[in-house]
Amino acid sequence: MLLAARCLVLAAVVCSSGLADGRLQAAGDGLPSWNAGPSKQAILDFVARTTREGGVDFVPERERIATFDNDGTLWAEQPMYFQLFFALDRVKALAPQHPEWKEQEPFASLLKGDTQAALAGGEKAIVEILTVTHAGMTTEDFEQIVRDWFATARHPTTGRPYTEMVYQPMLELLAYLRANGFKTFIVSGGGIEFMRVFAERVYGVPPEQVVGSSIKTKFELRDGKPVLIRLPEVDFIDDKAGKPVGINAHIGRRPIAAFGNSDGDLEMLQWTAAGPGPRFCLFVHHTDAEREWAYDRKSHIGQLDKGLDEAGVRGWTVVDMKSDWNVIYPPRG
């Protein structure tokens, strides 16, 4: 849900019965942070049906593709997408090189600490911010800048590092699916190279299994060294109807399971559900104002409106975060 539309910065279908044939993770069913109930059972049933050899719904491992949105599905997204926090910090770091920004919007408002005014310009303002903070450098330089930011940046509400704002139940789900022969992909509106910095370390998802929004790059020789330069031009927005397009281009197989949390993920779930054989679509519904945030139909971030209605009609699984999860974030070490 990002690059321009989601600001480049900016839940699963389940089915039937029994436990998978001896391939579950050692610790019980592998989902200890999920409370017993319809959502957890739907996941267990779907995995059992699709991995039971000889069963009517058996799916070969090569076809066990599961796609996950990132913002609001695997980690938090309030009060803003985390990649936007990164971009705003980059504006402050670059400001000494751009004295004109003191009088130029959206940068003038950002430098005064008025994020709301800066973003009042909508998509145009967001694209301007992203253009100056994400382009004009090599891919290696951008990766290092992102790594350095994650090493020190903290969430403004919780004080946690952003990579600790991940959902423990979803970490367990990723591992549980992989233990049962599924290949897990991130399909997000977030910047593809931004997410690749942390996806393998945090989620166990390697860079080649991350699909996201992107800007254009070009090959150059600099001092005889081949490099890729990030250009200030949007290449692809992996949000809404772009998600099935990105899945087709990067993965080449239609998923049999898709997980999201907002209307930006609806087309991905629709695309997944439309395939033959067993299908699983799930939305994470943010209902826990005490441990996280509660929002859905009217939220300016992660709006879940059309998706909530369609999930009810289609019988997709909707996770009630407050009642279905006994833990939100991983324990702090």
What's the pLDDT at 8?
A: 36
DSSP 3-state assignment of 222?
strand
| Same domain, residue pair 288 and 195 | yes
What's the pLDDT at 37?
A: 98
Tokens of 274: 């439309």
Nearest to 41 by CA among 257, 324, 279: 324
| Rounded Cα gap, residues 63 and 73, in angstroms | 23
Query: Per-residue b/e over 103-118, b at no fewer than 16 CB within 10 Å?
Result: eeebbebbbeeebeeb
Residue 56: is its pLDDT beyond 50?
A: yes
CATH code of the domain containing 264: 3.40.50.1000
Domain endpoint, select from 133, 152, 171: 152
What's the pLDDT at 28?
A: 59
- DSSP codes of every residue in 142-201: HHHHHHHHHHH-B-TTT--BGGG-B-HHHHHHHHHHHHTT-EEEEEEEEEHHHHHTTHHH
Domain endpoint, select from 118, 133, 152: 152
| Rounded Cα gap, residues 321 and 51, in angstroms | 27
DSSP 3-state assignment of 213?
strand
Query: Could you tell me the CA-to-CA distances from 93 to 107, 136, 145, 288 in Å, in that order?
Result: 12, 15, 11, 35
| Same domain, residue pair 186 and 320 | yes
Q: Is residue 229 domain-resident? A: yes
Q: What are phi and psi of 259, to 5 degrees?
A: -130, 130
| Same domain, residue pair 121 and 248 | no
Nearest to 265 by CA among 305, 207, 313: 305
Nearest to 144 by CA among 194, 184, 109: 194
Tokens of 203: 């989620």
Mean local confidence (pLDDT), 125-135: 88
Q: Is residue 18 domain-resident? A: no
| Same domain, residue pair 139 and 170 | no
Q: Cβ distance 162 to 190 under 8 Å? A: no
pLDDT digits (tens, 9 = 90+) for 259-283: 999 999 999 999 999 999 999 999 9
Q: Is residue 64 domain-resident? A: yes
The whole domain housing 226 covers 38-79+161-324
Q: Cβ distance 119 to 81 under 8 Å? A: no
Q: Is residue 92 domain-resident? A: yes
Q: Picking from 37-46, 105-114, 304-313, which range would have the lowest pLDDT averaged per residue?
A: 105-114
| Same domain, residue pair 246 and 292 | yes
Q: What are phi and psi of 175, to 5 degrees?
A: -65, -40
pLDDT digits (tens, 9 = 90+) for 81-117: 999 999 999 999 999 999 999 999 999 999 998 988 8
Packing angle of the helix pair 82-94, 139-152 (nearest 10 deg) = 100
Q: Is residue 10 domain-resident? A: no
Mean pLDDT of the chain: 91
Mean local confidence (pLDDT), 183-210: 98
Nearest to 9 by CA among 330, 282, 237, 216: 237
| Same domain, residue pair 72 and 93 | no
Q: Is residue 243 domain-resident? A: yes
| Same domain, residue pair 126 and 238 | no
Question: What angle (nearest 5°) sits at the alpha carbon of residue 297, between those of residues 171 and 123?
Answer: 85
Residue 5: is its pLDDT beyond 70?
A: no
Residue 122: is its pLDDT beyond 90?
A: no
> Residue 59's CB: how many other CB atoms inside 10 A?
19
Query: Could you tell me the CA-to-CA distances from 125 to 83, 194, 319 in Å, in that order?
Result: 15, 20, 34
| Same domain, residue pair 214 and 73 | yes
Phi-psi label, residue 312: left if phi above 0, alpha if psi -120 to 50, beta otherwise: alpha
| Same domain, residue pair 187 and 317 | yes
Half-sphere exposure of 328 (CA within 13 A, CB side): 21
Residue 2: is its pLDDT beyond 80?
A: no
Three state DSSP letters for 95-157 = HHHCHHHHHCCCHHHHHCCCHHHHHHHHHHHHHHHHHHHHCCCEHHHHHHHHHHHHHHCECCC
Q: Is residue 31 domain-resident? A: no
| Same domain, residue pair 229 and 125 | no
What's the pLDDT at 275?
A: 98
Mean local confidence (pLDDT), 142-150: 98
Domain endpoint, select from 112, 129, 152: 152
Residue 79: is its pLDDT beyond 80?
A: yes
Mean local confidence (pLDDT), 158-169: 98
Residue 219: is its pLDDT beyond 60?
A: yes
Structural domains of the chain, count: 2
**Which residue's entry shows tokens 């974030």?**
329
Q: Is residue 1 domain-resident? A: no
Residue 24: is its pLDDT beyond 60?
A: no
| Same domain, residue pair 224 and 294 | yes
What's the pLDDT at 128?
A: 87
- DSSP codes of every residue in 265-320: GHHHHHHHHTSSS--EEEEEE-B-TTTS-B--TT-SSS--SHHHHHHHHHT-EEEE
| Same domain, residue pair 197 and 297 | yes
Residue 123: is its pLDDT beyond 80?
A: no
Q: Cβ distance 157 to 79 under 8 Å? A: yes
